[in-house]
Amino acid sequence: MFNAVEISKDIYWVGVIEWNERYIHGFSMPEGSTNNAYIIKDEKTVLVDTCVDGYSDELIARISDVVEISSIDYIISNHSEKDHAGALGKILELAPNATIVTSDPKGLRILQRYYGEDLRFHPVKTGDELDIGKRTLSFVLTPMVHWPDNMVTYSKHDKILFSNDAFGQFFATSKRFDDEVDDRRLFEYAKKYFANIILPYTRQTAKALDTLDGIGIDLIAPSHGVVWRSHVSRIMDLYRTWCDNEPTDSAVVIYSTIYGSTARMATAITEAFMKCNVAVRLYDLDISDISDIMVDCMDAKYIAIGSPTHNATVLPPMGQFLAYFKGLAPKNRIGIPFGSYGWAQSAQNEIASVFSEKGYSMPLDNCVCDWNEDGADAQSLYDAIIEMIEDNG
């Protein structure tokens, strides 16, 4: 029932489709996700990555569609996060003679912590090769894309890069290739994935892209989403652009509100950007998704974040957003903290300290109003934002 799909001669997708998963660590996946794994049939049988433990039955069934699991010689663990290594224990019970290929030393350490030190490990570093018959697989360590242990596996024979988290997209689909799905959604999901997974590690990702430059890639087989075959250059170029961390002339305004004062301030800020022809998006955290917002933050030159002061801090939705934003925030932006307060500006100071921690400039240092915002406050804020845009244009 669970079929494998041949993506290149003797190389099969054997992953799992998480049709009904919707969230992973704050990242919303409105159309689910996939955890991809691959079988390479050569003189040796190789499994590239596994999946989350809860989907191991599906993985085992798909592998069994093309090989006897007990015949697996090598399991390449490109990344030990549990969405790729969670089913490793169950696979090893069925393939007791398999050797685990993992990065040296980070992947080795993590997998030994998960599964014990008595397993057969083959730790590898960048440039190491593994002869499996017609093919020689080579490895490139790509630390922090997305964990310290990450690596990618390359088959020169097939010109396939098994890229693990890099070039992934979170969406479940019955199709396996980039040219079989809607282009617009594909690239939106790829960008959302970058903004929410890769963005803090652009320096390391750029370095990995440099290492892979010119090796010759016909297929990129990531561990999430579809296989890239028709848009290999385009997605690699986009990754280079996104790694540059250059903002566009755009703004994003994000707020929480209780009685509407901070909302009116947010609207005034938004209107000021519109007046100056700066593309802007406005998000109320009560109804918006934080992982969608991060996509706009990735592009924005100006990031305005506002909350009223409530119990000497920000409102709960803003607290959640700030925690998420702090971990992912793009570098070198202009921050605009704002909001209303009654008797202490705690919320705005808290937002400003996040901007400060991230090294953002804050040309406007007092975007607050006490008690109830009236039209005059909004007008002053609108004027101040326009002046700031003109000064920073």
Alpha carbon distance 186, 1 (integer Å) = 27
Q: What is the DSSP letter of 26?
A: T
Q: Rule CB under 6 A: is residue 149 a binding residue for ligand FEO?
A: no
Which position among 58, 83, 158, 299 bears the catalytic label?
Answer: 83
Alpha carbon distance 109, 80 (integer Å) = 10
Alpha carbon distance 318, 255 (integer Å) = 7
Alpha carbon distance 254, 287 (integer Å) = 11
Which position among 165, 178, 350, 377 bears the catalytic label?
Answer: 165
Name which position in 79, 192, 264, 301 contacts ligand FEO (CB under 6 A).
Answer: 79
Alpha carbon distance 226, 222 (integer Å) = 7
- Catalytic residue at 146? yes
The number of residues that bind ligand FEO (CB under 6 A) is: 9
Name which position in 18, 42, 165, 178 contacts ligand FEO (CB under 6 A).
Answer: 165
CB closer to ligand FEO, 141 vs 280: 141
- Tracing tokens 């022809």 back to the chain, one arrives at 277
Alpha carbon distance 53, 10 (integer Å) = 26
Measured at the CA of 41, the angle between CA 40 and CA 42, to 5 degrees, comes to 110
- Catalytic residue at 310? no
Name which position in 21, 42, 58, 83 contacts ligand FEO (CB under 6 A).
Answer: 83
Strand ordering across the sheet containing 367-370: 279-284, 248-255, 300-306, 334-341, 367-370
Closest contact distance (angstroms) between CB of 84 and ligand FEO is 6
- Catalytic residue at 157? no
Closest contact distance (angstroms) between CB of 273 and ligand FEO is 35
Nearest alpha carbon to residue 303 among 365, 252, 256, 248: 252
Stretch that binds ligand FEO, among 75-83, 210-218, 297-305, 366-374 (CB under 6 A): 75-83
Q: Rule CB under 6 A: is residue 146 a binding residue for ligand FEO?
A: yes
Name which position in 21, 42, 49, 81 contacts ligand FEO (CB under 6 A).
Answer: 81
Nearest alpha carbon to residue 75 among 149, 146, 2, 130: 130
- Residues between 363 and 392 that touch ligand FEO (CB under 6 A): none
- Catalytic residue at 84? no
CA 281 to chain centroid = 21
Stretch that binds ligand FEO, among 81-89, 228-236, 238-246, 254-262 (CB under 6 A): 81-89
How many alpha carbons fall within 13 Å on the CB side of residue 69? 19
- Catalytic residue at 79? yes
- Residues between 299 and 338 that touch ligand FEO (CB under 6 A): none
CB closer to ligand FEO, 15 vs 306: 15
Question: Site mask, ligand FEO, residues 207-226, x = CB under 6 A?
Answer: ----------------xx--
Which position among 157, 224, 231, 310 bears the catalytic label?
Answer: 224
CB closer to ligand FEO, 101 vs 263: 101
How many alpha carbons fall within 13 Å on the CB side of residue 379? 3
Closest contact distance (angstroms) between CB of 358 and ligand FEO is 23
CA dist 94 → 63, 64, 116 (Å): 11, 11, 17
CB closer to ligand FEO, 44 vs 109: 109
Q: Rule CB under 6 A: is residue 42 a binding residue for ligand FEO?
A: no
Tokens representing 205 are 């990702």
Which position among 42, 49, 81, 178 bears the catalytic label?
Answer: 81
- Catalytic residue at 83? yes
- Catalytic residue at 179? no
CB closer to ligand FEO, 84 vs 176: 84
Burial grade of 64 (CB within 10 A; 0-12, 13-18, 19 or more):
middle
* Binding interface with ligand FEO (CB under 6 A): 79, 81, 83-84, 146-147, 165, 223-224
Q: Which residues are catalytic?
A: 25, 79, 81, 83, 146, 165, 193, 224
